């Protein structure tokens, strides 16, 4: 096989139940449960009308401006999969457009992530099929290769391996490594449940705010009206 121009099989992937479980939790809470150390950068934004992205990653590393391997990945992907493309973040040429999105929808995929540009924004924005990208341009792609499918990729420091969980909402994108799924889910669900309780307390007017002054005192902040004079 030629390094930089090859296709691998995906040997493991997140389960359908795990996808469903994580889809019910905001990305921000999942991120907090990963010590806020993982992110795909602020440029990758949802371009569709709205709705959660969640599914197992099939990864693509493509030459900037070229989508040959993306076409192949769309044909290889299984229903519910997220095709995640590292096109180098280049915005000179669109990697996908309306036709490729329609093909992905017909194959019942879960979404597309492009570290690069897309086109046909009006059609993408009018639909609910999840598409995240770094930018938009009318200039179309080339189809010459090279590229790789089902290899580890990295987007702004976030490493994505084939079969890892991808989740995305209006706050951005996150990859949960396959080997960390159970631990992260337990922490994220606990945080989500705690926030639901806090929201109920806020609505009822009984939210405990004593932690704010306690934190300030711990940091030796002088609190007005707290019994400490100005000398």
pLDDT tens, position by position, 88-129: 999 999 999 999 999 999 999 999 999 999 999 999 999 999
229: pLDDT strictly greater than 60 = no
131-143 residue pLDDT tens: 999 999 999 999 9
d(CA 154, CA 164): 12
Within a 10 A sphere around the Cβ of 171, how many other Cβ atoms? Answer: 14
d(CA 56, CA 149): 14
d(CA 32, CA 37): 8
- Residue 12 has a pLDDT of 97
Is-contact 215 221, C-beta < 8 A?
A: no
Task: Compute the average pLDDT of residues 137-159.
Answer: 97
Estimate the crossing angle of helix 16-23 against helix 181-203, to 10 degrees.
30
Residue 226's pLDDT band (cuts 50, 70, 90)? low
Between 224 and 37, whose confidence is greater? 37
Question: What burial class does residue 14 get, using C-beta atoms within 10 Å of its C-beta: 0-12 exposed, 13-18 middle, 19+ buried?
Answer: buried
Task: Compute the average pLDDT of residues 26-48.
Answer: 94
228: pLDDT strictly greater than 60 = no
Between the alpha carbon of residue 211 and those of residues 37, 190, 208, 220, the distances in Å are 25, 20, 7, 14
- Residue 1 has a pLDDT of 77
d(CA 60, CA 4): 11
- Residue 40 has a pLDDT of 81
Report the predicted TM-score, pTM, of the whole model to 2 decimal places.
0.93
Mean pLDDT across the chain, nearest whole number?
95
Question: What burial class does residue 166 get, using C-beta atoms within 10 Å of its C-beta: 0-12 exposed, 13-18 middle, 19+ buried?
Answer: buried
Task: Compute the average pLDDT of residues 203-230.
Answer: 85
Peptide bond into 146 cis (omega under 30): yes
Nearest to 54 by CA among 165, 161, 134: 165
- Residue 101 has a pLDDT of 98
Within a 10 A sphere around the Cβ of 11, how many other Cβ atoms? Answer: 8
């Amino acid at each position: 096989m030629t390094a930089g121009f090859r296709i691998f099989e995906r040997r493991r992937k997140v389960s359908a139940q795990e996808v469903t479980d994580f889809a019910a939790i905001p990305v921000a809470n999942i991120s907090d449960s990963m010590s806020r150390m993982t992110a795909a950068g602020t440029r990758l934004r949802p371009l569709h009308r709205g709705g959660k992205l969640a599914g197992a990653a099939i990864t693509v590393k493509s030459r900037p401006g070229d989508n040959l391997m993306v076409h192949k990945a769309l044909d290889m992907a299984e229903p519910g999969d997220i095709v995640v493309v590292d096109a180098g973040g280049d915005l000179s040429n669109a990697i996908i457009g309306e036709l490729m999105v329609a093909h992905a929808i017909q194959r019942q995929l879960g979404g597309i992530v492009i570290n690069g540009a897309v086109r046909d924004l009006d059609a993408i924005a009018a639909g609910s099929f999840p598409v995240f990208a770094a930018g938009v341009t009318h200039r179309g792609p080339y189809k010459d290769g090279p590229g790789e499918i089902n290899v580890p990729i990295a987007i702004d420091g976030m490493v994505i391996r084939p079969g890892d969980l991808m989740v995305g909402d209006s706050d951005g994108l996150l990859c949960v490594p396959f080997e960390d799924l159970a631990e992260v889910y337990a922490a994220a669900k606990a945080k989500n449940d705690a926030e639901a309780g806090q929201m109920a307390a806020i609505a009822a007017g009984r939210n405990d705010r004593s932690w704010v002054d306690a934190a300030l005192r711990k940091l030796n902040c002088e609190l007005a009206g707290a019994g400490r004079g100005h000398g």
